[in-house]
Amino acid sequence: MSLTLYGGQRTRASMPRWYLEEKGIAYNLVELDLQAKQHREPDYLAINPFGKLPALVDDSLVGPDGAPLTLFESGAILQHLADCHSDDIQTASERALTSQWLLFANATLAIALFVPSNREREFPRLMAELNQQLDPAKPLVGRSWGAADCAVQAYLAYLPIFFPDLDLSPYPTIQAVIASVQQRPAYRKAMGMQS
Task: Give the pLDDT band of residue 174 (cuts 50, 70, 90).
Answer: very high
**How does pLDDT run across 102-122, given as a tens digit for each residue?**
999 999 999 999 888 888 888
What pLDDT is stored for residue 116 in this prediction?
87
**Is pLDDT above 90 for 80?**
yes
**Is pLDDT above 80 for 195?**
no
Distance CA 29, CA 13 (A): 10
**How does pLDDT run across 33-54, given as a tens digit for each residue?**
999 999 999 999 999 999 999 9
The full 3-state SS of the chain, as one line of letters, equals: CCEEEEECCCCCCHHHHHHHHHHCCCCEEEECCCCCCHHHCHHHHCCCCCCCCCEEEEEEEECCCCCEEEEECHHHHHHHHHHHCCCCCCCHHHHHHHHHHHHHHHHHHHHHHHCHHHHHHHHHHHHHHHHHHCECCECCCCCCCCHHHHHHHHHHHHHHHHCCCCCCCCCHHHHHHHHHHHHCHHHHHHCCCCC
Contact between residue 102 and residue 147 where contact means Cβ atoms under 8 Å apart: yes
Average pLDDT over residues 50-59: 96
Average pLDDT over residues 117-146: 92
Report the chain's C-alpha Rg in angstroms.
17
Nearest to 159 by CA among 130, 189, 135: 130
As a whole-number percent, the residues of the chain with pLDDT over 90 amount to 85
Omega within 30 of 0 (cis) for the link into 170: no
**Is pLDDT above 90 for 69?**
yes
What pLDDT is stored for residue 119 in this prediction?
83
- What's the mean pLDDT when you consider all of the chain? 93
Contact between residue 154 and residue 13 where contact means Cβ atoms under 8 Å apart: no
Task: Give the pLDDT band of residue 194 (cuts 50, 70, 90).
Answer: low
Distance CA 45, CA 63 (A): 16
What pLDDT is stored for residue 81 in this prediction?
97
Q: Considering Cα of 96, then 97, then 98, then 102, what sign does the dihedral take?
A: positive
Task: Give the pLDDT band of residue 9 (cuts 50, 70, 90).
Answer: confident
Contact between residue 129 and residue 171 where contact means Cβ atoms under 8 Å apart: no
What pLDDT is stored for residue 144 in this prediction?
93
What pLDDT is stored for residue 82 in this prediction?
97
**Is pLDDT above 70 for 190?**
yes
